Homo-oligomer: A and B are copies of this chain.
């Protein structure tokens, strides 16, 4: 098991170095904007979208254009430091990748909270499914939509049923 965030000394150093090396390997430049963006990404709450990242950067005093946010996120995705994902919205969501761990998501339809989980038996099940269909898996994504423990009791489930069917996933 890899070391977890709690024991880290230098928060983003590892990610910064990795990104810089990635850029260098492609003869790209590690600009101030890119540096600020990596820091912001690994300071955020793990899940974010392009717009909230853009706003977070503005609050920190930076003045990075939306275009650069998208362009840099694209690089981070290619570099493997960020994953792009659809969480049922019209717009893309992103998540900072810590280590190599794969996980999937529980998504609360009431408070929008995203809970991560990892199940080894899910990975095994995926293998079985793929074998059955002679499919070579490269990536998978399991999303469970519903109500988190905080919302389960206080939310009228029937009022959500329509939203469930509309979910874009």
- The answer to whether A117 touches B138 (Cβ under 8 A) is no
Is A86 at the interface (CB under 8 A from chain B)? Answer: yes
User: Can you list, as one digit per residue, whether each of A80-114 has a CB less than 8 Å from chain B (1) or not (0)?
Assistant: 10011110100010000000000000101100000
In the complex, the answer to whether A77 meets B125 with C-beta atoms within 8 Å is: no
**Residues B149 and A130 in contact, CB atoms below 8 Å apart:** no
Q: Is A164 in contact with B138, judged by CB distance below 8 angstroms?
A: yes
Please determine whether A142 and B145 come into contact, CB atoms closer than 8 angstroms. Answer: no
Quick one: CB contact mask for A134-152 with B, threshold 8 Å, 1 for yes?
1111111111111111001
* A residues 60-84 touching B (CB-CB < 8 Å): 74, 77-78, 80, 83-84
Inter-subunit contact B148/A135 (CB<8 Å)? yes
Q: Confirm or deny: A165 has a beta carbon within 8 angstroms of a beta carbon on chain B.
A: yes
Q: Distance in Å from the Cβ of A168 to the closest Cβ of chain B?
A: 5
The residue in chain B whose Cβ has the minimal distance to the Cβ of A166 is: B77
Please tell me if the beta carbons of A149 and B125 are within 8 angstroms of each other in the complex.
no
C-alpha gap A152/B161 in the complex (Å): 39
B167 touches A139 (CB 8 A): yes
Given contacts A78-B162, A129-B106, contact A138 B121 (CB under 8 A): no
Interfacial chain B residues near A6, Cβ < 8 Å:
none
A160 on interface, CB distance cutoff 8 Å? yes
Q: Are A84 and B166 in contact, CB atoms less than 8 angstroms apart?
A: yes
